[in-house]
Amino acid sequence: MNWLQRQLVRLRNLWRRALAENATPERFAYAVALGAFISAGPFWGVRAPLAIACAWATRLNRLTAVLASHILFVPLVIPVWALEVRLGARLLGRVPPSWHGDATARLAEIQAALGAWCLGAAILAPLFAVACGALAFPLARRWQARGVRGVVRD
């Protein structure tokens, strides 16, 4: 078995374990929604610990929440964050940051954009979470109807 095949087997096992822990489709969808909310919010650097803590506090599937908290990985999260900053700036009546100039000007723009980012994330992250949870529910229900298959060892 080559490296890629081993990684695919591991990913499949991870998916099966996530579906088997707290196995109801509703709880799975809630855990995905929780992770998606964290993924779309301004929580860079603390996504996994925050997902574990929130899933533990709400008694949801921690593995699913952690995996879903990384739905938006680096190439995808940058446009989402830019959209959140623009939306927040518009709602606050500010001009969106231009991101031009020297390092000092950029740092000042970043500091000014933090409030706009949080406001934009407060609007977009719940919408993203609902959409991801709504997509996860029928997948989990279908998987449960088929029956969870055993975990393959590598």
pTM: 0.77
Q: Give the separation between CA 65 and CA 149, rounded to whole angstroms.
A: 21
Would you say residue 140 lies in a domain? yes
Would you say residue 135 lies in a domain? yes
Give residue 58's pLDDT: 93
Query: What are the residues whose beta carbons fall under 8 Å from the beta carbon of 12, sequence distance 6 or more?
Result: 152
Would you say residue 18 lies in a domain? yes
Give residue 14's pLDDT: 79
pLDDT over threshold 90, residue 135: yes
Alpha-carbon distance values, 129 to 123, 132, 143 (Å): 11, 5, 21
Report residue 131's pLDDT band, with 50, 70 and 90 as the boundaries.
Answer: very high
- Encoded amino acid at 148, one letter: V
Give residue 72's pLDDT: 86
Would you say residue 6 lies in a domain? no
Half-sphere exposure of residue 122: CA atoms within 13 angstroms, side-chain side: 9
pLDDT tens-digit profile of 36-85? 999 998 888 899 999 999 999 999 988 889 989 988 887 888 888 888 88
Report residue 120's pLDDT band, with 50, 70 and 90 as the boundaries.
Answer: very high
Number of domains in the chain: 1
Q: Give the separation between CA 136 and CA 78, rounded to whole angstroms.
A: 23
Give residue 37's pLDDT: 95
pLDDT tens-digit profile of 3-49? 888 888 888 887 777 777 766 889 989 999 999 999 998 888 899 99
Would you say residue 3 lies in a domain? no
Give residue 148's pLDDT: 54
- Encoded amino acid at 33, one letter: A
115: domain range? Answer: 12-146
Q: Give the separation between CA 25 and CA 34, rounded to whole angstroms.
A: 14
Alpha-carbon distance values, 44 to 39, 69, 77, 135 (Å): 8, 10, 10, 24
Report residue 111's pLDDT band, with 50, 70 and 90 as the boundaries.
Answer: confident
